[in-house]
Amino acid sequence: MSSGTTTGTATGIQQIHDVGAKALGWLYEHREGFRLEADPSPEAGMLDRFKPLGELALIGKVIFREGVAGSQQSSLAHKLLDHAWHELLDSGARLLEGQRREPLSPVPLEVYVPFRELGYRQPDLESAIRLNHRLASWAALEVLPVRRLGLSAIERRFGVEPSVPETAALAHTWLARRPEPWTVEGHIGYDITHTVFHLTDWGEKPAGLPADIAEYLTLWLPVWLDDWLDLKRWDLLGELLVVDACLPEPTLDPAAWAGFAQAQQPDGAMPVVGGMPEGDEESVFDLVYHPTLVAAFASALAMSRALSDLSSSPAPA
């Protein structure tokens, strides 16, 4: 490896690290935005605002698992998760309430599992989930194929028999059929990314990606990265950067990462598309928390893969 290449690699790794550090800092400073409605209306349901907390737990788990965050980032992640679990979810009591109100909803399970994997427990909720899981209606829930794949994966991680085997669920997804790559648009893009997330347990097991799917993504992902970069679709671009980090040989695309980093605001927030939205603090949080979480996710995985590749590279002559 030449000195110029080494310098370029170091610069790229620093850029990826900075994206994640800034994103996590913004999420911590705006942690009150992960609020739950005290008395949600029956029309809206009480589970809608649980999902961001589950996403937060997933990203926290990735950060701890990959072990590439500095001590300050790790401390912020711990504080964020403690706040979410104890203050917002009332140590899981809010999830139990939601499961009892909507016994067929998989949302409490999806939110709970990453917290449980991090050591947070609510035994009464676990009992309620196991009881409801026995209902035929639980397995009969009609959802999109990629959602069914996700439910099968979360059931496995929780320790119950998946309602639909993961291989069967995968077969019905868009990505498993490897269609014409030029037909990808926004919704399909998210279906692609989440299929990869579920197959690899959110980047933990890259080997969970079947060889034919990995080959298809290796061929076409660079094109999609270029497309979404041109469109300034930062949320989806971030998820595709995660997919890249899940491939057998990730590209860590310099142009995509440079554009992604430039879109990030000085305070760490990442817009969904184009520039930052306008509005009151709560409304802006609701629009940008997800791409900011994705930025932290993409950074942790890409950093881990980049450092792994460096450590496995032969020493220069």
6-42 pLDDT, tens digit per residue, is 445 777 899 999 999 999 999 999 999 999 877 666 5
Tell me the C-alpha distance between 26 and 289, whole Å.
9
Closest Cα partner for 120 from 83, 153, 74? 83
Closest Cα partner for 86 from 122, 41, 113, 124? 122
Task: Lowest mean pLDDT of 31-35, 186-190, 235-239, 306-310, name the range.
Answer: 306-310
Give pLDDT, residue 309: 73
**Long-range own/partner contacts, residues 275-282 (CB < 8 A, 24 or more apart):** 281/30, 281/33, 282/33, 282/35
Domain ranges of the chain: 25-141, 172-307
Query: How far is CA 127 from its chain centroid?
Result: 27
A 10 A CB-CB count for 246 gives: 23
A 10 A CB-CB count for 308 gives: 13
Tell me the C-alpha distance between 110 and 151, whole Å.
8
Alpha helices in the chain (DSSP H): 3-29, 51-66, 71-82, 93-101, 107-117, 123-133, 136-140, 145-158, 166-171, 174-177, 186-199, 211-231, 234-246, 254-263, 281-312
Alpha helices in 48-185 (DSSP H): 51-66, 71-82, 93-101, 107-117, 123-133, 136-140, 145-158, 166-171, 174-177
pLDDT band at 69 (very low <50, low <70, confident <90, very high): confident
A 10 A CB-CB count for 229 gives: 20
Task: Lowest mean pLDDT of 66-70, 77-81, 165-169, 213-217, name the range.
Answer: 66-70
More confident site: 18 or 47: 18
Stretch 261-289: mean pLDDT = 96
Q: Average model confidence (pLDDT) for the chain?
A: 92
Tell me the C-alpha distance between 90 and 96, whole Å.
10
Both tokens of 22, joined, read 């800034």
Record the pTM. 0.93
Give pLDDT, residue 9: 73
Give pLDDT, residue 2: 36
Give pLDDT, residue 243: 98
Stretch 38-53: mean pLDDT = 73
Tell me the C-alpha distance between 63 and 298, whole Å.
10
Asked if residue 142 has pLDDT above 70, the reply is: yes
Task: Lowest mean pLDDT of 9-13, 59-63, 159-163, 284-288, name the range.
Answer: 9-13
